[in-house]
């Protein structure tokens, strides 16, 4: 039911993008964008209202509120991102769900590492402004993520003929 609702919303807006984007790319962009907005909203609420901008002291370590908010929100948006990719964008994949989930985790981990390395490169080595660096990094990481998800995480396994 939720899947059908999301697809009907995507179907309603797709004619605006049809001549610019193939359907799968459009679904990926729309779902990824929505999940990113959801992530930012949850982060804002968690940081400002749940944690009240306070350090979380768990005895052996104190966690800053911005990191604690990330730790709290990440599993939620990781899950929603996976579900949107599996059931909305890359529905033709015939790999087992647990394989897809493991590969999705590897792809997300790769995206985090790539974000870090590219930001370091652009800001600290090339001397670009941080905001410009973040924009360039996002473009590269979104491309990397799409290719990884399409051809690795949710690829279509070809059946061998005997």
Q: What angle do CA 88, 1, 108 make, to 5 degrees?
A: 30
Provide mean pLDDT across the span 15-19. 96
What is the C-alpha separation between 79 and 104, in angstroms, rounded?
10
pLDDT at 150: 92
**For the residues 118-145, what does the mean pLDDT come to?**
90
Residue 130 is predicted with a pLDDT of 83
Phi, psi of 62 (to 5 degrees): -110, 130
Confidence label for 15 from pLDDT (cuts 50, 70 and 90): very high
CA atoms within 13 A on the CB side of 85: 27
Q: Tokens for 108?
A: 């997300």
As given in the structure block, the two tokens for residue 22 are: 């193939």
- In this prediction, residue 161 carries a pLDDT of 53
pLDDT at 66 over 90: no
Q: Using CA atoms, how far apart are residues 141 and 136, in angstroms rounded to an integer? A: 9
């Amino acid at each position: 039911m939720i899947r059908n609702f999301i697809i009907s919303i995507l179907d309603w807006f797709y004619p605006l993008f049809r001549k610019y984007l193939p359907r799968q790319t459009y679904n990926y962009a729309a779902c990824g964008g929505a999940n990113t907005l959801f992530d930012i909203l949850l982060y804002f609420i968690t940081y400002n209202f749940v944690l009240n901008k306070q350090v979380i002291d768990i005895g052996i370590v104190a966690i800053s509120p911005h990191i604690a908010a990330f730790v709290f929100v990440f599993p939620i948006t990781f899950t929603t991102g996976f579900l949107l990719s599996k059931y909305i964008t890359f529905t033709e994949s015939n790999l087992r769900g647990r394989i897809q989930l493991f590969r999705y985790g590897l792809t997300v981990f790769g995206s985090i590492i790539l974000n870090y390395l590219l930001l370091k490169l652009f800001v600290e080595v090339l001397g670009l402004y941080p905001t410009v660096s973040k924009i360039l990094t996002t473009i590269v990481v979104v491309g990397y993520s799409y290719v990884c998800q399409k051809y690795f995480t949710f690829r279509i396994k070809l059946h061998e003929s005997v």
